[in-house]
Structure 1
Amino acid sequence: MATVVRSFAIQGIDGYPVDIEVKMLEGQPVISIIGLGDQAVKEAAERIQAAIDESGYVFPKKRVIISLAPSDKKKSGSHFDLAMAVGVLCQNGDIGVKNLKEYGFIGELSLDGRLRACRGILPMIIAGQKKGIKKIIVPEANLKEAGLVHGVEILGFHDLTGVIRCLEGKTSGGEIHVGEKEKGSEESGTVLDFKDVKGQDELIEAVVLAAAGGHNMLMVGEPGCGKTMIAQRIPTILLEMTEEECLEVTKIYSISGLLPNGHALMK
């Protein structure tokens, strides 16, 4: 019977669940990764072999088939590495995991078994939440970003060895376990205000009308006349975004790899 491990992929700005199926057959030792993966997905074969060996286990000398379902959707990225490695270890009988279906896995593996940070963690965690997955394991560096989503338990680890100990119920103090989600806080900075703008009363009135009515606006003028200064102050007179809107904006930053240090919720 094949081992099924849950992971996620990104389509546009939204995530969707991916079942990583691992099956071992007798034959010449080789790894076949199928399911319309890009080059980064295919290169995972070398990374997971090295990471498993570095973690104290022996990669099986069998024919290993790894399928990423649904197989009719193109998949990209290196964040499937962790799920593939766990699937291989479970299929080979190296580790025993109770309730494997409750877990989701995201993370790129380095050759020494460390977990590297990934882009697009937020939309993938949201997809896991909607799917009803109870626990999602992510790289330690992505822990705070993943914690922005409520309703799912996030576990962050530094390497594959820590993940294995957790799955076997041997979690030590070195691993990070987040039970309650940390809500991202916006970094404090200078508040821009229209009172700093002098001599542009008509333009300010037009800006207020455009902001209130949700209209488009084009400012034309000589360099230095105040266009940028006024444009920078428009967000300060708008209503605060709802949590859902904040998550939508943060998803775009997450996929683009543009989240600021600390991975705070974009407000």
Structure 2
Amino acid sequence: MSLARTWAASLSGVTGHLVAVEADLAAGLPGTTVIGLGDAAVSQSRDRIRAAVLNSGVKWPDRRITLALSPAGMRKQGAGFDLALAVAVLAADGVVPAAEVDGPVLLGELGLDGAVRPVRGVLPCLLAARAAGRRDAVVPVENLAEAALSGLRVRGARSLRDLVESLRGDGTQLVLPDPPADAAAVAGSPGGPDMTDVLGQPEARAALELAAAGGHHLAMVGPPGSGKTMLASRLPGLLPPLDAEQALEVTAVHSVAGMLDEDTPLLTAPPFVDPHHTSSRAALVGGGTGTVRPGSISLAHHGVLFLDEAPEFDRRALDALRQPLESGAVLLARSGGATRFPARFQLVVAANPCPCAAARDVDCACPPGERRRYLGRLSGPLLDRVDIRIDLPALDAPTLARCAAAAADAPESSAVIRQRVLAARDRAAHRWAGTPWRRNADVPGPAVRRRWQPGPSEQHLLDRAVDTGRLTGRGYDRVLRLALTAADLAEQDIPGPHQVATALALRCGDAA
């Protein structure tokens, strides 16, 4: 038989697409042509697969070989098509049964010695294959644990020789994956930094709990050593574990980025991403000159993005966060097309009050204009999307003295706070049952106003903030959502004056 077909998969962002790989062997001068709108890695695969076949002890066909990737109009990137291309050639030449290779999805890069090397994005590719009706897959052994999460019957190949012998029925068995880890068991025992390590800062602790309960963005300004980084790093420990759908979404993003750990392929805890302040705009939102890769905001999907020393970031990079903060996704347009990455993250911003970062205001040598310009690097439109803004004072002497000895009244642990956060989130999920939203921070303003109309006392507080210019239209809606979260923590159905005053104080200062 001179015509055979195998199956592979291509990625666009974190979305997979099933690809048919066809091989035709015809009379004529020997040569290999790869068609189907592939990039340089796909075009160069003809040389890789030829060497891999020969070094696997199989004869390369001395015929005119045409390899086609369909749909032909969809761009295809990477070396993950090597395995499907090589097997298609061998099936067309009769080396392996064509009927055996027309079912499973084949993913993997081939080395010149025939070794099957791991590739990125296996999970989203196989999820797309399952949606398209495929039931089996063969992947590199290093990708087996990740591939097992797809729900397909997967096997792992160490080399092209092993795969060929298995298809021939020569007795070689491909590697089967280990049973997937129990996600519930992993999620039920969160680790990481604990809130008991944070001394003092009661207002900041309360703000962090409120942010965790509603999914609100948070900005902290304070001198060095006031606890900004400690608080931010403990926010993921207050969040609920990812549900099954969220875990697959987060794992797919990290798979595309090539950041999955082979031992723990399924990410069940909210990710915590803290890029360095020298990160470029492409590093934050995603991009690249060749293959478009997810940035920090997508790696923090369903988790926390922490920007420490935020004024030191490039202002254009910070302003690029404005649209993803609203939409929960980032669309990267290039000449070859547009790529969409998910980016529904919780932003935490930390900054010193001035460039000199003095521990006390009396020691600061910065003129007032310099202090304003420093914090002014965080643009107004960006801060307008941050629900909670707090100033952290320097720790006093008694609080610092407690660091040297165990305190009798130890602060609450993350586990205790997490229980209140989970209860508040359950109340919010019940409130928004039947809608696409589960967290108060995600609900659009019109939906909030239809569900809850502030009473006269609450409206008076809101009107004063608007009249004095402390609240914009966007800020007004965000205060309503923050008040709903405060009510959920207080186990109230609707916010009262105290919850609205708390929301206004955390949003724009004293509510009085």
TM-score normalised to the size of structure 1? 0.93
The aligned runs of 1:155-174 (5 Å cut-off) are 155-172=155-172
Q: Name 1:176's counterpart in structure 2.
A: 175
Counterparts of 1:243 and 1:42 in 2: how far apart (Å)? 37
The residue identity in structure 2 corresponding to 1:116 is R
Q: Which moved more, 1:256-265 or 1:205-214?
A: 256-265
Q: Name 1:232's counterpart in structure 2.
A: 233
Is the Cα–Cα contact under 8 Å of residues 56 and 161 in structure 2 kept in the other structure? Answer: yes
Q: Name 1:212's counterpart in structure 2.
A: 213
The alpha carbon displacement at 1:64 in A equals 0.6
Counterparts of 2:68 and 2:228 in 1: how far apart (Å)? 54
Q: What count of residue pairs does the alignment treat as equivalent?
A: 264
**Higher share in helix:** 2
The aligned runs of 1:138-157 (5 Å cut-off) are 138-150=139-151, 152-157=152-157
Counterparts of 1:76 and 1:145 in 2: how far apart (Å)? 20
Which secondary structure state, in structure 1, belongs to the residue aligned with residue 218 of structure 2? coil
Is the Cα–Cα contact under 8 Å of residues 148 and 183 in structure 1 kept in the other structure? Answer: no
Counterparts of 1:122 and 1:177 in 2: how far apart (Å)? 16
Structure 1 alignment gaps of length 5 or more: none
Q: Name 2:11's counterpart in structure 1.
A: 10
In structure 2, the CA distance between the partners of 1:184 and 1:259, relative to structure 1 (3 Å rule), is farther
State the 4+ residue runs in structure 1 displaced beyond 6 angstroms.
Answer: none
Deviation digits for residues 162-206 of structure 1 (CA, Å, limit 9, x no counterpart)? 111222233435x3123x742376598853221221111101111
Counterparts of 2:172 and 2:226 in 1: how far apart (Å)? 61
Is the Cα–Cα contact under 8 Å of residues 33 and 66 in structure 2 kept in the other structure? Answer: yes
Which secondary structure state, in structure 1, belongs to the residue aligned with residue 61 of structure 2? coil
The residue identity in structure 1 corresponding to 2:17 is Y
**Is 1:33 aligned to 2:31, yes or no?**
no
**Is 1:111 aligned to 2:112, yes or no?**
yes
Structure with higher Rg: it is 2
**Is 1:137 aligned to 2:138, yes or no?**
yes
Counterparts of 1:182 and 1:171 in 2: how far apart (Å)? 26
Structure 2 alignment gaps of length 5 or more: 269-512
Query: What is the RMSD computed on CA atoms of the aligned residues?
Result: 1.9
Q: More relative contact order in 1 or in 2 (CA 8 Å, sep 6+)?
A: 1
Which secondary structure state, in structure 2, belongs to the residue aligned with residue 176 of structure 1? coil
The aligned runs of 1:58-137 (5 Å cut-off) are 58-137=59-138
Deviation digits for residues 5-54 of structure 1 (CA, Å, limit 9, x no counterpart)? 10000001111100011111111111110111000001100111111111
Is the Cα–Cα contact under 8 Å of residues 97 and 167 in structure 1 kept in the other structure? Answer: no
The residue identity in structure 1 corresponding to 2:132 is K
Counterparts of 1:184 and 1:114 in 2: how far apart (Å)? 31
Is the Cα–Cα contact under 8 Å of residues 9 and 124 in structure 1 kept in the other structure? Answer: yes
Counterparts of 2:190 and 2:245 in 1: how far apart (Å)? 23
Is the Cα–Cα contact under 8 Å of residues 122 and 147 in structure 2 kept in the other structure? Answer: yes
Q: Name 2:243's counterpart in structure 1.
A: 242
Which secondary structure state, in structure 2, belongs to the residue aligned with residue 148 of structure 1? helix
Is the Cα–Cα contact under 8 Å of residues 80 and 108 in structure 1 kept in the other structure? Answer: yes
Counterparts of 2:130 and 2:82 in 1: how far apart (Å)? 21
Which secondary structure state, in structure 2, belongs to the residue aligned with residue 218 of structure 1? strand
The residue identity in structure 2 corresponding to 1:83 is A
The alpha carbon displacement at 1:70 in A equals 0.5
Q: Which moved more, 1:123-132 or 1:84-93?
A: 123-132
Counterparts of 1:52 and 1:261 in 2: how far apart (Å)? 28
The residue identity in structure 1 corresponding to 2:81 is F
Which secondary structure state, in structure 1, belongs to the residue aligned with residue 251 of structure 2? helix
Counterparts of 2:182 and 2:262 in 1: how far apart (Å)? 11
TM-score normalised to the size of structure 2? 0.49
Is the Cα–Cα contact under 8 Å of residues 147 and 183 in structure 1 kept in the other structure? Answer: no
